[in-house]
């Protein structure tokens, strides 16, 4: 399939799933690439947790933090969330590296915000700059997104929020969906980040290996991994989700040594919270891109 042809196929796959999609994929060995809107600005959502965790390990390399340092998070002060510590009832004490584990593996908002509080967003910005992510800005943490959501929708009542978060009129005024004032990146910036982590270029070899391990422990199989249902193909990634937004970035590794960094960002036309086709198209387009990159050049 010619390069332009595969781009057309991917664009059609996004359209068939009812989403506006942007993506970039690159063969980490050859540098061959394919993209659709690869340099467009997109909302990161929880994808920001990848440079956040990288910032932790870069700080550890510099001797600024001990990854084993213990942090206690108490109910009422920690960030709420649907998974991990954010959903628990009692005080929790764990190390910075275990907070990083939860921030990536189950996208724990409380764990991510605790890391950001300890490191500071300047450390995240430094990691972003070191990676060469020129179009990426991490300007807020999960609690900030939650606060802006409440302010935009005019209520903190959980039942009203749940209803408004699927209301197209309410979502049209949701500032957290405005890419200009939110954590933002581009698909190409994210594959640059992943390439640097996989090539041990952004931190020590041990620290990059630690970040790769965390990405391999992510539990969600319904997006990127759904395109690669093979026992001998490994997928490591991180999702990002906001109303109408479904993302994932990651690396697919084949048993023959092939490694492919992929970043897929989507916005759905429907405001429904459950859209299996919108989730699955992330794996579909990733598979299309990787199969294209694995074919011999003509």
Residue 255 has a pLDDT of 97
Judge whether residue 151 has pLDDT over 80: yes
Read off the pLDDT of each residue in 189-202 and give the average, rounded to a whole number: 98
Q: How many Å apart are CA 271 and CA 275, to the nearest integer? A: 9
Judge whether residue 298 has pLDDT over 90: no
Residue 3 has a pLDDT of 65
Residue at token pair 């954590």: 183
Residue 228 has a pLDDT of 97
Residue 20 has a pLDDT of 98
Confidence band (pLDDT; 50, 70, 90) for 86? confident
- For 134-150, write each residue's pLDDT tens digit: 999 999 999 999 999 99
Q: How many Å apart are CA 246 and CA 278, to the nearest integer? A: 7
Of 34-38, 85-89, 185-189, minimum mean pLDDT range = 85-89
- For 30-58, write each residue's pLDDT tens digit: 999 999 999 999 999 999 999 999 999 99
Judge whether residue 117 has pLDDT over 90: yes
Q: What average pLDDT does the structure give for the chain? A: 96
Q: Are 6 and 32 in contact (CB under 8 A)?
A: no
DSSP per-residue codes, 210-252: HHHHHHHT----SSGGGG---TT-EEEEEEEEETTEEEEEEEE
Residue 296 has a pLDDT of 82
Whether pTM > 0.85 for this model: the answer is yes
Read off the pLDDT of each residue in 214-228 and give the average, rounded to a whole number: 96
């Amino acid at each position: 399939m010619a390069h332009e042809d595969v781009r057309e196929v991917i664009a059609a796959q996004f359209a068939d799933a009812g989403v506006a999609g942007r993506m970039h994929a690159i063969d980490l060995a050859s540098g061959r690439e394919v993209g659709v809107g690869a340099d467009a600005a997109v909302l990161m959502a929880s994808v920001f947790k990848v440079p956040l965790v990288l910032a932790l390990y870069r700080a550890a390399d510099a001797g600024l933090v001990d990854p084993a340092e213990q942090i206690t998070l108490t109910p009422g002060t920690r960030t709420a969330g649907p998974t991990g510590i954010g959903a628990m009832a009692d005080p929790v004490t764990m190390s910075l590296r275990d907070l990083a584990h939860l921030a990536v593996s189950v996208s724990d908002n409380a764990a991510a915000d605790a890391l950001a509080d300890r490191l500071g967003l300047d450390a995240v910005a430094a990691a972003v700059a070191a990676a060469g992510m020129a179009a990426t800005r991490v300007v807020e943490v999960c609690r900030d997104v939650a606060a802006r959501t409440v302010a935009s929708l005019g209520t903190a009542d959980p039942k009203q929020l749940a209803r408004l978060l699927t209301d197209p009129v309410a979502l049209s005024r949701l500032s957290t969906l405005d890419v200009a004032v939110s954590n933002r990146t581009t698909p190409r910036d994210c594959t640059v980040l992943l390439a640097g982590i996989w090539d041990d270029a952004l931190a020590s070899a041990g620290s990059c290996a630690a970040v790769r391990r965390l990405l391999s422990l992510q539990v969600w199989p319904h997006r990127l991994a759904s395109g690669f249902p093979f026992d001998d193909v490994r997928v490591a990634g991180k999702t990002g989700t906001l109303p109408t937004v479904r993302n994932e970035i990651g690396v697919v590794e084949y048993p023959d040594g092939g490694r492919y960094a992929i970043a897929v960002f989507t916005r759905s036309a429907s405001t429904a919270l459950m859209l299996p086709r919108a989730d699955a198209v992330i794996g579909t387009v990733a598979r299309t891109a990787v199969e294209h990159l694995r074919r011999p050049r003509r």
